[in-house]
Copies of this chain bind each other. A is one copy, B any other.
């Protein structure tokens, strides 16, 4: 793992592996969970990719992402069936061997009677050489980390348990703080004034997020983000004042 512990900014990508997400049959719930989790512990999620259960696609995505970001988190494809090819693809991406790992077998035997540990279930103990295991408190079959790539299950409750086990071992950065403001006016009415505030705070990221409800029309949420809480407080005060001005102008118009 890259030693990024002295950096303010530690980046990450998520790689979701699975035909079922691309077909639309299963709706992904892992991206949002991991995104929120990483933000909370001081890791900046910079990219997400979803790829099919095709070895060459997984290898290419893993290698592109691990070269670029401090951490890569994968979900899916580590079960016992023939369509679970993630562990082999990761081994190929790193150019290392893969074999049944006795530490992983020991974990499986905590849950599975030895007589039931057939060839298919032993597939879940196949781990690339040099990897560290990630404990799975839900169903025992482990995930693993190799280099800066962290390989987790696709089943949400199991992925959550693995992320909890993994998080304390990760290099993290300075946390990004955020403030949300309900604007109370339409985006088109605040956009000019909001851009002017953004120009005065180049170190605070300012976004505007509309939502729409049939009948109620548009509402706008402004989100300010910075690693510097003091700057965030100042920016929030200016944005609040800007919103008051905009509302007064609209009321007077």
8 Å CB contacts to B: which residues of A115-130?
116, 118-121, 123-124
Interface contact A120-B23, CB-CB below 8 Å: no
Flag the segment in A76-84, A92-100, A164-172, A232-240 that touches B: A76-84
C-alpha gap A62/B190 in the complex (Å):
29
Count copies of this chain in the complex. 2
Q: Which one, A1-9, A144-152, A201-209, is touching chain B? A: A201-209
A229 an interface residue at 8 Å Cβ cutoff? no
| Known contacts A192-B118, A192-B120; A24 and B19 CB within 8 A of each other | no
Assuming the A-B contacts A24-B37, A31-B28, are A188 and B118 also in contact, with contact meaning beta carbons closer than 8 angstroms in the complex?
yes
Q: Hey, which chain B residues are within 8 Å of A81, CB to CB? A: 187, 190-191, 194-195, 207-208
Is there contact, CB below 8 Å, between A120 and B24? no
CB-contacts of A65-124 with B (<8 A): 79-84, 112, 116, 118-121, 123-124
Using a CB–CB distance below 8 Å, which chain A residues touch chain B? 16, 19-28, 31-39, 44-53, 57, 79-84, 112, 116, 118-121, 123-124, 138-139, 155, 157-158, 176, 178, 180, 187-192, 194-195, 198, 205-212, 214, 218, 223, 225
